[in-house]
Amino acid sequence: MILQPLGEVDSGLLKWLAEELEKKFGMRVTVGYGMRIPEECFNRKRNQFNSTCILMAMKVEEITLFITPEDIYAEGMNFVFGEAEINGKKAIMSFSRLKSPDFELFRQRILKESVHELGHVFGLMHCKTRGCVMNFSPSVFEVDKKSADFCEKCSKKLKYPKQSGNSWVKP
């Protein structure tokens, strides 16, 4: 799995996140070199990047989680924390709206939303079990309420690695 920054992301944060994801998914996570976010996905009227556009623009060979400081949205939503290709290879998460003066809280939020988007890549849909990382989070309030772990049901359903897929989920 590749953890791929799009834009400026702190290297210490990337290293920490890669290690946490390795523990969580039991697979090697490599941090990719910084890449520029595709400018054609920027919506000037909204002052946000379209996450679906970014996922479509990026070519990947193995499962890749893109992480960006930019604010992102998907059609029909004011903003999203992330988006993923279900049973596919690509996911993106933005920490633009996860910020907190409490650094530990900030990185836990990033971890939860990263695990959530990767859960979609590994075939999971949203889950209503209390505390499950696959709970849909419309705001940081819900992010803070859930854990960074899959509930028992979701853990059993996790299927990986996946080849390629083309069904999309937002967010």
Active-site annotation holder among 20, 117, 142, 152: 117
* CA distances, 22 to each of 29, 30, 31, 164 (Å): 6, 9, 11, 21
Copy the structure tokens of residue 163.
């080849």
Distance CA 2, CA 90 (A): 10
Residue ranges in contact with Zn ion by CB under 5 A = 127, 129, 132, 134, 151, 154
- Distance between CA atoms of residues 64 and 34, nearest Å: 13
Nearer to Zn ion, 35 or 77 (CB): 77
- Token pair listed for 90: 């690509």
Of residues 76 and 101, the one with the C-beta less far from Zn ion: 76
117 included as an active-site residue? yes
Nearer to Zn ion by Cβ, of 53 and 129: the residue is: 129
Q: How far is the CB of 52 from Zn ion (least distance, A)?
A: 13
Active site residues: 117
